[in-house]
């Protein structure tokens, strides 16, 4: 315990009280690489940073498994300074790196898994980043994407090139995006074997066996607003059924891919989740979950600070600001 811990706890009780005024901070993590990866964004959380986050969180917050925390939130029985931890997508480093750190503190987290990439699949953004990592040429001909000749001679230029490709392909129709990513892979690597980044079946089963929660995150990670409702239903239902078969229980909590309310999903998708048997869903809108939030659009928060004190202050500030207006219940 550091000298400021009692102060942080007292402030936490004020801004994140328990009971009927309970507030639940839900954290979102993605990859937890062993070291800072020069090709990933600057707000990444590597193993050391994640360990520092968990250490300070264990001192200043009451960490609950998300399903239990949500039941408490609804019943008005949350403890003060309540916090839950989630991971999106299903990266292998969640199992190899984050899990032992979580277990050191006795934390139970929730893992939202995209079933279409389990074992040897790669999400589109990772295909681009890994293509640039494996690229041995000093520049890439991307005229076919409208990006001309792009330098790729060092980590900085590779990262810049990957970001340009990502922003060009991110909102393409799903099939076109897949084709573009494959072409980038072929162009940059001359068809090398792809690395494995996602968890395998056994790792997901092990997470569930260790008391972690497996949540739904679609089969192929589409932006739901960009596909028709029938395709969305199929993708969400397939994911739920496959995860259910894998761990013996269909997930009850869902995370929207990309997750921005209105931009990435709409009220028709909220209705779809209810129809398919989900009980709760989380977005990526920043905020803190309260009893008055729509239980199918619970806001989360993505911490990236390296300094533990700054991290706690940012979490307390987030708890003070309340819920994102777009995730308030739809009363229309
Ligand atoms: Zn995702």
How confident is the prediction along the chain (332 residues), in pLDDT tens digits per residue? 677 788 888 888 888 999 999 999 999 999 999 999 999 888 899 999 999 999 999 999 999 999 999 999 999 999 999 999 999 999 999 999 999 999 999 999 999 999 999 999 999 999 999 999 999 999 999 999 999 999 999 999 999 999 999 999 988 888 899 999 999 999 999 989 999 999 999 999 999 999 999 999 999 999 999 999 999 999 999 999 999 999 999 999 999 999 999 999 999 999 999 999 999 999 999 999 999 999 999 999 998 888 888 999 999 999 988 665 555 544 43
Ligand 1 centroid vs 222 CA: distance in angstroms? Answer: 9
* Cα–Cα distance, 192 to 311 (Å, whole number): 40
Ligand 1 centroid vs 275 CA: distance in angstroms? Answer: 22
Ligand 1 centroid vs 284 CA: distance in angstroms? Answer: 10
Token duo for residue 112: 């939202």
> How many other CB atoms are there within 10 angstroms of residue 51's CB atom?
17
* Cα–Cα distance, 298 to 292 (Å, whole number): 10
pLDDT for the residue numbered 153: 94
Ligand 1 centroid vs 199 CA: distance in angstroms? Answer: 14
Which residues make up the environment of ion ligand 1, defined by Cβ < 5 Å?
A: 88-89, 257
Ligand 1 centroid vs 193 CA: distance in angstroms? Answer: 24
Ligand 1 centroid vs 218 CA: distance in angstroms? Answer: 9
pLDDT for the residue numbered 325: 56
Ligand 1 centroid vs 241 CA: distance in angstroms? Answer: 18
Ligand 1 centroid vs 88 CA: distance in angstroms? Answer: 5
Which residues, 6 or more positions from 47, have their beta carbon under 8 angstroms from its beta carbon?
Answer: 32, 33, 34, 35, 93, 97, 101
pLDDT for the residue numbered 1: 65
Q: Of 303, 315, 299, 322, which is closest to residue 9 (Cα–Cα)?
A: 315
Ligand 1 centroid vs 268 CA: distance in angstroms? Answer: 19
First to last CA, the chain: 48
Which residues, 6 or more positions from 238, have their beta carbon under 8 angstroms from its beta carbon?
Answer: 115, 219
Ligand 1 centroid vs 301 CA: distance in angstroms? Answer: 14
DSSP code, position 10: H
Ligand 1 centroid vs 277 CA: distance in angstroms? Answer: 20
* Cα–Cα distance, 294 to 257 (Å, whole number): 18
Ligand 1 centroid vs 326 CA: distance in angstroms? Answer: 20
């Amino acid at each position: 315990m550091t000298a400021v811990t009692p102060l942080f706890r007292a402030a936490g009780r004020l801004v994140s009280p328990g009971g009927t005024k309970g507030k639940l901070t839900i954290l979102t993590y993605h990859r937890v690489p062993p070291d800072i990866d020069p090709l990933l964004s600057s707000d990444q959380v590597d193993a050391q940073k994640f360990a520092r986050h968990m250490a300070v969180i264990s001192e200043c917050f009451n960490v609950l498994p998300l399903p239990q925390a949500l039941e408490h939130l609804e019943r008005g029985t949350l403890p003060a300074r309540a916090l839950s931890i989630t991971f999106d997508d299903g990266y292998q480093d969640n199992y190899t790196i984050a899990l032992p750190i979580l277990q050191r503190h006795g934390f139970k987290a929730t893992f939202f898994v995209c079933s279409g990439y389990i074992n040897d699949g790669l999400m589109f953004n990772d295909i681009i980043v890994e293509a640039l990592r494996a690229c041995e040429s000093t520049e890439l001909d991307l005229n076919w994407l409208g990006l001309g000749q792009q330098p790729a001679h060092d980590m900085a230029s590779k990262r810049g090139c990957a970001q340009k490709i990502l922003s060009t392909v991110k909102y393409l129709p799903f099939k076109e995006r897949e084709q573009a990513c494959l072409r980038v892979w072929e162009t940059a690597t001359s068809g090398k074997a792809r690395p494995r980044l996602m968890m395998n079946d056994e790792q997901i089963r092990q997470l569930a066996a260790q008391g972690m929660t497996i949540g739904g995150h679609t089969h192929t990670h589409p932006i739901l607003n960009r596909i028709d409702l029938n395709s969305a239903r199929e993708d969400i239902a397939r994911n739920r059924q496959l995860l259910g078969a894998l761990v013996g229980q269909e997930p009850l909590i869902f995370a929207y891919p990309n997750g921005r309310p209105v931009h990435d999903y709409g009220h028709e998708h909220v209705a779809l989740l209810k129809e398919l048997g989900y009980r709760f869903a989380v977005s990526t809108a920043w905020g803190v979950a309260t009893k008055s939030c729509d239980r199918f659009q619970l806001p989360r928060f993505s911490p990236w600070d390296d300094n533990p004190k700054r991290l706690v202050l940012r979490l307390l500030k987030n708890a003070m600001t309340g819920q994102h207006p777009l995730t308030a219940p739809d009363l229309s």
